Amino acid sequence: MEKLRSAVKVIAYTPQSKFLSPFHLSLIPLLSVASSLYSIAIRLRRHLYRFNILHSHRLPVPVISVGNLTWGGNGKTPMVELLARSFADAGISPLILTRGYCGADEAKMLKRQLQGTCAKIGVGANRVATAVRFLDQYGFTSSRAGFEQLFCGNKIEVQSSNNKIGVAILDDGMQHLSVQRDLEIVMVNALMPWGNHCLLPLGPLREPLTALCRADILVIHHADLVKEKDIDALKSTIRKGIGYADSFIQRIERMGPTFVDHLDFSDHHLFELQDLQIVCTRLEALELKFGAKPIVVVTEKDYDRAPEVLLRLKHYEVLVLCSRLQFLDYMGSTEERFRKTVVEYLSQR
């Protein structure tokens, strides 16, 4: 069994362009079928939660999820410890909810590391039930007093009478949809980020990279152990997972230009003079290649963020693509229905 596990790991973290042994290659068809079934299962599960067939529970305290997109060590436990200790030092009693894999070794480690603090650790596959048990036992407070003390370095002595739970931390919680969260932190391992980019068990991904759009905060773990260019490449992949910039390019292509070239910058990028120099160099090369001045197209956000910088492109025609949301009628879903739904949700809250 261990040999099989090792072989699966080798396949998962070997780029598809690299050589695999005959033994590894013989496993790929079976793993591919299993990966396809897994893909169907995770999509079905998410739809079941989306349509409230499976229920997601709201705890009476703020919930932070610390998770990842792949298997293996991604720094989740150190992040959970850091958060728990920071809350405890700020006088807010944290409840860590962990499933307790492999003999609950992570839970034991956290108990040892957080010994002497007001942090509480609940172990169990049913995290909702575990949370309810601890909340009933210790009580809870919904007061946000003390949150401003987080990470300020001022440790507060917590009395046992004030030991009510003030925040919950989901350990390995990204795929744990039964608990609603207020903050989603996703850990990414810089040493082995995505492997062969395939879903389990053919690859290391628990979900497609597009799931990164659910993250509020992404933390690159082991960033000090890789080269800067590798970090830049990883950040680029993360941005593509969060925002699909190619849609802008595809929309331009549909307008029928002779040729489309593009330079990608991160979302909300603050343009500097060196960026414009790169753009101008590319424009000069295109003008030389086609014998005509190219037209520059930027997004509306780019224009609003740096109109004075874009003025440096005055030798070229610069167009701003302005997009507006349009609702398409589909199975009774109209803009009017959307507005009514928004009002209903706001009324309920």
Mean pLDDT in residue range 148-155: 54
- Cα–Cα distance, 157 to 293 (Å, whole number): 68
Task: Give the pLDDT of residue 256.
Answer: 76
Mean pLDDT in residue range 297-321: 78
Residues 270 and 235 in one domain: no
pLDDT digits (tens, 9 = 90+) for 6-32: 888 888 888 766 788 888 999 999 999
First to last CA, the chain: 51
Task: Give the pLDDT of residue 185.
Answer: 85
Residues 276 and 175 in one domain: no
pLDDT higher than threshold 60 for residue 331: no
Residues 281 and 207 in one domain: no
Selection from 326, 279, 319 nearest residue 296 by Cα = 319
Query: Is 55 inside a domain boundary?
Result: no
Residues 151 and 237 in one domain: yes
Residues 188 and 301 in one domain: no
Residues 199 and 271 in one domain: no
The C-alpha angle with vertex 118 and arms to 115 and 119, in degrees rounded to 5, equals: 75
Selection from 206, 216, 209 nearest residue 64 by Cα = 216
Task: Give the pLDDT of residue 287.
Answer: 87
Task: Give the pLDDT of residue 266.
Answer: 61
Contact 39, 201 (CB under 8 A): no
Mean pLDDT over the full length of the chain: 80
Query: Is 36 inside a domain boundary?
Result: no
Number of domains observed in the structure of the chain: 2
Residues 84 and 218 in one domain: yes
Domain boundary among 241, 269, 299: 241
Residues 80 and 225 in one domain: yes
Residues 215 and 79 in one domain: yes
Domain boundary among 241, 256, 290: 241
Handedness of CA 69, 73, 79, 85 (dihedral sign): positive
Query: Is 129 inside a domain boundary?
Result: yes
Task: Give the pLDDT of residue 253.
Answer: 75
138, two tokens: 């210790």
Q: Which amino acid is at 163?
A: N
Q: Chain-centre distance of CA 109, in angstroms?
A: 26
- Cα–Cα distance, 65 to 185 (Å, whole number): 6
Radius of gyration of the CA atoms of the chain, in A: 25
Task: Give the pLDDT of residue 147.
Answer: 58
Task: Give the pLDDT of residue 109.
Answer: 80
Query: Is 281 inside a domain boundary?
Result: yes
Residues 219 and 270 in one domain: no
Confidence of residue 241 (pLDDT cuts 50, 70, 90): low
Confidence of residue 330 (pLDDT cuts 50, 70, 90): very low
pLDDT digits (tens, 9 = 90+) for 154-211: 566 655 446 899 889 999 999 999 999 878 889 888 888 898 999 999 999 999 998 9
CATH for 158: 3.40.50
Domain boundary among 183, 217, 241: 241
Query: Which letter does DSSP use for residue 94 in this model?
Result: E
Residues 80 and 210 in one domain: yes
pLDDT higher than threshold 70 for residue 152: no
Inter-helix orientation angle 76-89/101-113, to 10°: 40
CA distances, 161 to each of 116, 139, 165, 209 (Å): 16, 11, 11, 45
Query: Which letter does DSSP use for residue 299 in this model?
Result: E
Percent of the chain scored above 70 by pLDDT? Answer: 78
Mean pLDDT in residue range 131-159: 71
Query: Is 39 inside a domain boundary?
Result: no
Q: Which amino acid is at 114?
A: L
pLDDT higher than threshold 50 for residue 304: yes
Query: Is 286 inside a domain boundary?
Result: yes
Contact 61, 167 (CB under 8 A): yes
Query: Is 279 inside a domain boundary?
Result: yes
223, two tokens: 């960033």
pLDDT digits (tens, 9 = 90+) for 250-263: 677 777 777 888 87
pLDDT digits (tens, 9 = 90+) for 35-88: 999 999 999 999 899 888 999 999 998 888 899 999 876 788 888 888 888 888
Tell me the whole-structure pTM to 2 decimals: 0.69
Task: Give the pLDDT of residue 246.
Answer: 58
Q: 214 pairs with which residues across the strands?
A: none
pLDDT digits (tens, 9 = 90+) for 75-111: 888 888 888 888 888 788 999 999 876 556 778 888 8
Task: Give the pLDDT of residue 346.
Answer: 39
Query: Is 8 inside a domain boundary?
Result: no
pLDDT digits (tens, 9 = 90+) for 206-238: 999 989 988 878 888 877 778 878 888 888 788
Q: Which domain covers residue 308, as residue numbers?
A: 246-321
Contact 189, 75 (CB under 8 A): yes
Residues 175 and 257 in one domain: no
Contact 187, 71 (CB under 8 A): no
Mean pLDDT check: name the lowest of 16-30, 101-115, 117-131, 318-332.
Answer: 318-332
